[in-house]
Amino acid sequence: MSLFTGAGVAIVTPMKANGEVNYEKLGEFIDFQINNSTDAIVICGTTGEASTLTHEEHIEAIRFTADHVKGRVPVIAGTGSNCTETAIYLSQEAQKAGVDGCLVVTPYYNKASQKGLIQHYTAIAKSIDLPIIMYNVPGRTGCNIQPETAAKLAKDVDNIVAIKAATGNIAQEVKTMALAEGRLDMYSGEDGLIVPLMSIGAKGVISVLSNVAPQQTHDICQTYFDGKTQEAADLQFKALDLVDALFCEVNPIPVKHALNLMGWDMGPLRAPLCEMEDANLARLKKAMTEYGILK
């Protein structure tokens, strides 16, 4: 059984003006997401600025989210690290917090060979009883889970159940699904490729777009599940300019600005992330207005 199907939001982490995590706002935003058909909450991923949270903040954000959601939708915690022991620690703490699964990114900067990736993911998986979604985003990490490696892990390790695919290489994702022989769920890690990856069997998306358009992103997936392939594609096409604008600077800079434009008061970004360039901010406003989420 899949951890979830549909659109899981890679949720932002709201900050107070002084840079502290704003848990009150996070609770409000979680409720907004669930009330607008988001199918899962993914806390402390890239979009949640996990890389600049302290370990204590990271764990508390996971714990708060699990407690606040109260089982209404699955909660998946980002617990990856470029240090295997740190990833084990965060994953174990996430399990104690009561989440439904862990999202574990490939090691970044120090990277790993394919043999090292097998050892890394196997060690993390064996340390917990939760299902794991591997997160493959080589553009950010410089490390790519090859299809043969993903398939081996899925077949050899019972609780490695899915992969978040953000390579931009559909041929690679096709090969991954073929080699896994039904043992590995896939989620698009790119909002511009939801329908294409669902056409090869993906279960949905872990989405940045869902932050600003949760109902619409859910609808892209549900329309496809309902067998209305062309309608789903049309919804995908309609979102294209907004998706491009949300990634015109490093994620999560644009999406946090977008939410602030929508009145959410998500606060500042943590350094080294910074304010958007004026031209890109104008592009974002235009795309949001044309999509109908900003007046």
Q: How many angstroms separate the CA atoms of 122 and 84, rounded?
A: 10
| 30: enclosing H helix or E strand | helix 23-35
Amino acid identity at 146: Q
Work out the end-to-end distance of the chain between its first and last CA atoms, rounded to an integer number of angstroms: 41
Q: How many angstroms separate the CA atoms of 216 and 242, rounded?
A: 12
Q: How many angstroms separate the CA atoms of 124 and 89, rounded?
A: 9
Nearest alpha carbon to residue 99 among 112, 108, 90: 90
Find out whether 101 and 80 touch, Cβ atoms under 8 Å: no
Q: Which residues pair with 188 in a beta bridge?
A: 165, 205
Amino acid identity at 36: N
Q: How many angstroms separate the CA atoms of 173 and 177, rounded?
A: 6
What is the 8-class DSSP label of residue 80? -
Would you name the residues annotated as active-site residues? Answer: 135, 164
